[in-house]
Amino acid sequence: MSSEIEHFQAHIRQAIAAGQTLRIQGGNSKHFYGDTHADTALLDTRAHSGIVSYEPSELVVTVKAGTPLAELEAALAAQGQSLAYEPPHFGASATVGGMVAAGLAGPARASVGGVRDHVLGVQLINGLGEALTFGGQVMKNVAGYDLSRLMAGSLGTLGLITELSLKVLPVAPAEATLMCALSQQDALDLLHRWGGQALPLNASAWVHDNSAQPAQDLLFVRLRGAVAAVESACPRMVADVHALGGHATRMDTHVAAADWAASREHTLAFFNAPDAEQCLWRLSLPQTAPVLSLPYATYIEWHGALRWLWAPADAAAQLRQVASAAGGHATLFRAAQAMAAPAPAVFSPLPAVQQRIQRELQKQFDPHGVFNTGRTGLR
């Protein structure tokens, strides 16, 4: 057992003895996400860093949780591989453990799956200071509950992730991005139609672009796959756009790549707060959800399944009611700079049965409540 692991175990046991709550942190790039509390002590993972093993031919990498995410992505890129779900960094200091704990994925999420779909195994330290191992380095290696994937999106509330085995994928041989002038309704209808066809559809984004003169509604669609599949799909999709009275052009690949990266990292103009009283809301919905009857600027990803909105904190009840009616939920992703107390809950309340299951699960992993369980909205 490494000295870092022993240090983590000692830190957790000391916290238990002192009745202290710990906040697990890597690069602190996603500190804004979830309900954190100022009275928690810090447990920093960055000393536990490095790629443990990497088998490009097996499409598996095992890495320590404190490893910089950029370091892992560079090692994969050198072998023509990547984390297909395009996790956002939100800062140069992002770590692999933080990526999994946050469970956030980028533009390709709807087509390739999310973070938890690529977690094969995990080592962690629970709330008793015990080192545990779940899963392994292959897709199906144990019977029973898949507890390794449970760590994705847990926000450090179930344990300290120390090591991860992840599935990686080859970079697609061909890529193309189409920019289509379409209304939100036409864009959603077309995305739903394309989703039922044999097209190499990888990512999409719709926005009302105020930077252009005049302002216009734009749908961006990214294709990835075999060269023949991408090249044959482009003219078919352009023809579909024209049939709706829209206009479509193929973007320069390098320009498009920068735009998709900006979408992932929230550096597009849309993600600049309109004013200090606006919050960034994240609505997770079924892909087939219709245009929402809301008076707020919207940025749509994941073929309709992810809607970003700028709205004030007091719109929480309205947003959550509309999201629930559409079969989804609303999350307060970034709080306003000037937000009056009391602030709305970050996450939509869970149904009673799910809330009970989550509470009991946390008790099993962390019976003393040493981890920052409030971060998921539970106490």
Structural domain including 22 reads 3-170+367-376
Task: Check whether residue 322 and residue 188 sit in a common domain.
Answer: no
Task: Check whether residue 61 and residue 143 sit in a common domain.
Answer: yes
Q: How many CB atoms lie within 10 A of CB 309?
A: 24
Task: Check whether residue 244 and residue 283 sit in a common domain.
Answer: no
Query: Where does residue 135 fall: left (phi above 0), alpha (psi -120 to 50 degrees), or beta otherwise?
Result: left
Task: Check whether residue 110 and residue 238 sit in a common domain.
Answer: no
Task: Check whether residue 258 and residue 280 sit in a common domain.
Answer: no
- Cα 350 to Cα 356: distance, rounded to the nearest angstrom: 9
What does 337-375 look like in DSSP terms, one character per residue? SS-PSSPPPSSPPPPHHHHHHHHHHHHHH-TT--B-GGG
119 belongs to a structural domain: yes
pLDDT value, residue 256: 98
**pLDDT tens-digit series, residues 309-367:** 999 999 999 999 999 999 999 999 999 987 777 888 899 988 899 889 888 989 999 99
362 belongs to a structural domain: no
348 belongs to a structural domain: no
Task: Check whether residue 94 and residue 216 sit in a common domain.
Answer: no
Task: Check whether residue 71 and residue 217 sit in a common domain.
Answer: no
For 267, the token pair is 């550096």
pLDDT value, residue 215: 81
Q: What is the CATH number of the domain that holds 218?
A: 3.30.70.2190
Alpha helices in the chain (DSSP H): 3-18, 69-77, 96-102, 109-112, 147-150, 184-195, 227-243, 253-265, 316-325, 352-365
Whether this prediction's pTM lies above 0.85 is answered by yes
Task: Check whether residue 160 and residue 18 sit in a common domain.
Answer: yes
Task: Check whether residue 26 and residue 160 sit in a common domain.
Answer: yes
Within the chain, which residues score under 50 in pLDDT? 378-379
Which of 215, 242, 265 represents a domain boundary (last residue)? Answer: 265
Q: Is 356 exposed, middle or buried (0-12, 13-18, 19+ CB in 10 A)?
A: exposed
Task: Check whether residue 14 and residue 143 sit in a common domain.
Answer: yes
Task: Check whether residue 101 and residue 200 sit in a common domain.
Answer: no
Q: How many CB atoms lie within 10 A of CB 325?
A: 11
Sign of the Cα pseudo-torsion (68, 74, 76, 81, in order): positive
Which residue, 181, 179, 205, is CA-closest to 299? Answer: 205
Quote the number of domains for the chain. Answer: 3
Task: Check whether residue 231 and residue 302 sit in a common domain.
Answer: no
